[in-house]
């Protein structure tokens, strides 16, 4: 459980009292007296819990405090920031909760209240982590590793063959192409399946913390090392360790990782004796490692060690036919988000929009797009292009190509629908004005809208 709290307040006496209180119940505390220090600490440490006073030097304005909250949340949307306001700022603090702060309270704070809010935030983070884990392991079941495109099937077959061995695997591919899902697939298909699957995103944790996170530490090895920690290698003993964004690993840690993979031993920070570990490594990167090797940012010996077998995951745009298959799958799994939604389908025009888009965010973007479209469609049943994001609609093929394959009746239907949509958009949804524009009675327009499923 993440127990690191960043305490941001310019009042040194209050910080010291809260630090003692938080430490007494097992939190680790980082302190910042102003916005500059807060930014630095937030960047350098994997902070997920923040207590943020709004009136901070140098600006000393609640607006500047609110801007800092925005910065934290855009860097780490899952972080829980509890806003601490002075008397008279409660309404602003409340509006910040609407903008993403986890909670707020006014000074002077009751210690029990403070601990209760932090405890709730921690429990919430635990739940969110569990949901993410379940989502990923669900997607990793073989029947969920969906796709029929040749480039995808080739990657899947190679992975399945490598999975049953103990050879290290390097998964390459752009963000959102499914590297973590493949890593779980490898674990699930290996003899290690009933042992732990442990993941670490090497880019999401500060270099200072990475060594002890990977290899563990002894109590007192550095400030803040309150107890012995096993480290992820030891936690993954017998199972699989998935190192995501391996290209972000600092050179000094690359040396230590190489040593661990060669000897099968890790040395916790502050320990005098190494610990034996039996771990299968699966690494992933979206950056081309050979380039990193060429410009000396990545050690060549480690590259060859991790690369055992390399599987390159194709971009979604390189998987013709899979977009619609996956879109339908994501729609089905997102159905629980919309109460009473009927089984959603994709209209032919929507299919064309999906197929002609580039998908820079790959499967992750498609999943979000389908969730969004489903919510926007309000459970209408068939998704239409207007349910999609503007970027997708903008790339839809021109009318000439679209219309070529339709019957005359379908073309007329389509034209009518487009004219209705356009008139409604131009009149900002005002039906009487739109009806007038189209030369229809208001009731006539409503009938046609109902027939086309427009609202
Ligand atoms: N073959 C698949 N079938 C079904 N869902 C998939 C498949 N591959 C990926 N997904 C889903 O797509 C999303 C992105 O996958 P994943 O997180 O594994 O990508 P990634 O390449 O590790 O991304 P990043 O590099 O940004 O961490 C997840 O929601 C995952 O469940």
Instruction: Give the architecture (CATH level 2) of 141-314.
Output: 3-Layer(aba) Sandwich (3.40)
Q: What is the CATH number of domain 318-451?
A: 1.10.8.60
**pLDDT (average), residues 233-241:** 95
Of the pLDDT bands very low, low, confident and very high (cuts 50, 70, 90), residue 292 is: very high
Ligand 1 center–CA 177 separation, angstroms: 5
Residue 148 CB–ligand 1 contact under 6 Å: no
- Structural tokens at position 327: 């879109």
152 CA closest ligand 1 atom index:
1
DSSP conformation letters of 116-150: HHHHHHHHHHHHHHHHHHHHHHHHHSGGGS----H
Of the pLDDT bands very low, low, confident and very high (cuts 50, 70, 90), residue 294 is: very high
Q: Which residues of 176-206 are buried (b: 16+ CB within 10 A; e: fewer)?
A: bbbbbbbbbbbbbbbebeebebbbbebeeee
**pLDDT (average), residues 385-392:** 89
Of the pLDDT bands very low, low, confident and very high (cuts 50, 70, 90), residue 286 is: very high
pLDDT over 70 percentage in the chain: 89
Residue 344 CB–ligand 1 contact under 6 Å: no
Pick the range with the lowest mean pLDDT from 222-231, 355-364, 442-451.
222-231
Neighbours of 243 (CB within 10 A): 24
Distance CA 292, CA 172 (A): 14
**pLDDT (average), residues 111-125:** 89
* Secondary structure in 3-state letters for 98-121: HCCCCEEEECCCCHHHHHHHHHHH
Residue 249's pLDDT is what?
Answer: 93
**pLDDT (average), residues 270-293:** 94
Please measure the distance between the N-terminal and C-terminal CA atoms of the chain and give it in whole angstroms: 46
Q: Rounded to whole angstroms, what are the CA distances from 385 to 81, 201, 373, 414, 418?
A: 37, 36, 9, 12, 10
Q: Where are the domain boundaries for CATH 3.40.50.2300 in the chain?
A: 4-126
Residue 331 DSSP symbol: H
Distance CA 100, CA 77 (A): 9
Which residues contact residue 148 at a Cβ distance below 8 angstroms, ignoring those fewer than 6 apart? 321, 322, 325
Tally of residues, the chain: 455
What are the tens digits of pLDDT across the range 55-94?
888 888 888 888 999 999 888 888 999 998 876 677 787 7
**pLDDT (average), residues 285-291:** 93
Burial of residue 218 (number of CB atoms within 10 Å: 0-12, 13-18, 19+): middle
- Structural tokens at position 424: 């409604």
**pLDDT (average), residues 393-414:** 65
What are the tens digits of pLDDT across the range 169-204?
999 999 999 999 999 999 999 999 999 999 999 988
**pLDDT (average), residues 37-41:** 93
Q: Where are the domain boundaries for CATH 3.40.50.300 in the chain?
A: 141-314
Residue 163's pLDDT is what?
Answer: 94
Residue 156's pLDDT is what?
Answer: 95
Residue of the CA atom closest to atom 13 of ligand 1: 364
Higher pLDDT, 330 or 280: 280
Of the pLDDT bands very low, low, confident and very high (cuts 50, 70, 90), residue 422 is: low
Residue 36's pLDDT is what?
Answer: 93
Q: Rounded to whole angstroms, what are the CA distances from 43 to 29, 128, 379, 409?
A: 15, 22, 41, 59
Residue 364 CB–ligand 1 contact under 6 Å: yes
**pLDDT (average), residues 257-285:** 94
Would you say residue 425 has pLDDT above 80? no
**pLDDT (average), residues 107-124:** 88
Residue 320's pLDDT is what?
Answer: 76
Question: If you search the block for the tokens 């500060």, which residue do you land on?
Answer: 206
**What does the mean pLDDT of the chain come to?**
86
Residue 418's pLDDT is what?
Answer: 66
Name the CATH superfamily housing domain 4-126. Answer: Response regulator (3.40.50.2300)
Residue 322's pLDDT is what?
Answer: 85
Residue 158's pLDDT is what?
Answer: 96
Which residues contact residue 398 at a Cβ distance below 8 angstroms, ignoring those fewer than 6 apart? none
**pLDDT (average), residues 209-223:** 88
What are the tens digits of pLDDT across the range 295-342?
999 999 999 999 999 999 999 999 977 898 899 888 888 877 666 667
Higher pLDDT, 19 or 130: 19
Beta strand 240-244 with 280-285 is parallel
Residue 171: enclosing H or E segment and its boundaries?
strand 169-172
The answer to whether the beta carbons of residues 311 and 172 sit under 8 Å apart is yes
Q: Where are the domain boundaries for CATH 1.10.8.60 in the chain?
A: 318-451
pTM of the model: 0.64
Residue 145 CB–ligand 1 contact under 6 Å: yes
Ligand 1 center–CA 287 separation, angstroms: 17
Residue of the CA atom closest to atom 26 of ligand 1: 175
Residue 415's pLDDT is what?
Answer: 72
Residue 339's pLDDT is what?
Answer: 67
Q: Tell whether the torsion through CA atoms of 129, 130, 135 and 138 is positive or negative.
A: positive
Ligand 1 center–CA 145 separation, angstroms: 9
Residue 428's pLDDT is what?
Answer: 58
pLDDT over 90 percentage in the chain: 46
Residue 391's pLDDT is what?
Answer: 86
Residue 19's pLDDT is what?
Answer: 93
Residue 190's pLDDT is what?
Answer: 93
Pick the range with the lowest mean pLDDT from 105-119, 276-290, 309-323.
105-119
Residue 156 CB–ligand 1 contact under 6 Å: no
Residue 178 CB–ligand 1 contact under 6 Å: yes
**pLDDT (average), residues 129-141:** 66
């Amino acid at each position: 459980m993440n127990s690191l709290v960043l305490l941001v307040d310019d009042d040194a006496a209050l910080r010291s009292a809260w630090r003692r209180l938080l430490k007494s119940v097992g939190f680790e505390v980082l302190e910042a007296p102003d916005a500059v220090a807060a930014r630095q600490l937030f960047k350098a440490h994997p902070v997920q819990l923040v207590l943020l006073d709004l009136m901070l030097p140098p600006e000393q304005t609640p607006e500047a405090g609110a801007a800092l909250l925005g910065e934290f949340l855009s860097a780490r949307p899952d972080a829980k920031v509890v806003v601490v306001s002075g008397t008279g700022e409660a309404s602003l603090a409340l509006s910040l909760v609407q903008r993403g702060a986890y909670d707020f309270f006014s000074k002077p704070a009751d210690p029990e209240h403070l601990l209760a809010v932090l405890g709730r935030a921690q429990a919430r983070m635990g739940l969110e982590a569990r949901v993410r884990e379940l989502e990923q392991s669900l997607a990793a079941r073989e029947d969920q590793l969906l796709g029929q495109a040749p480039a995808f099937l080739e990657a899947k077959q190679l992975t399945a063959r490598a999975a049953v061995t103990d050879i290290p695997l390097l998964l390459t591919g752009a963000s959102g192409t499914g590297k973590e899902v493949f890593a779980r697939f490898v674990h699930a298909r290996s003899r290690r399946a009933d042992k732990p699957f442990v993941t670490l995103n090497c880019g999401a944790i500060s270099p200072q913390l990475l060594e002890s996170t990977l290899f563990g530490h002894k109590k007192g090895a550095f400030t803040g090392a309150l107890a012995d920690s096993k480290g992820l290698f030891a936690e993954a003993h017998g199972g699989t360790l998935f190192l995501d964004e391996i290209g972000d690993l600092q050179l000094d840690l690359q040396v230590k990782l190489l040593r661990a993979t060669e000897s099968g031993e890790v040395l916790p920070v502050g320990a005098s004796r190494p610990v034996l570990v039996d771990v299968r490594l699966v690494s992933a990167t979206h950056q081309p490692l050979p380039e990193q090797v060429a410009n000396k940012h990545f050690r060549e010996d480690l590259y060859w060690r991790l690369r055992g077998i390399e599987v390159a995951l194709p971009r979604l745009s390189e998987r013709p036919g899979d977009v619609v298959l996956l879109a339908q799958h994501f729609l089905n799994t997102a159905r629980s988000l919309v109460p009473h939604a009927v089984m959603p389908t994709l209209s032919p025009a929507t299919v064309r929009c999906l197929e002609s888009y580039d998908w820079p965010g790959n499967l992750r973007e498609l999943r979000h797009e389908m969730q969004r479209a489903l919510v926007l469609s309000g459970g209408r049943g068939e998704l239409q292009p207007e349910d999609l994001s503007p970027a997708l609609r903008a790339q839809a093929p021109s009318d000439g190509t679209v219309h070529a394959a339709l019957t005359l009746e379908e073309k007329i239907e389509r034209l009518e629908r487009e004219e209705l949509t356009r008139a409604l958009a131009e009149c900002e949804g005002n039906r009487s004005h739109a009806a007038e524009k189209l030369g229809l009675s208001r009731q006539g327009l409503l009938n046609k809208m109902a027939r086309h499923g427009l609202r």
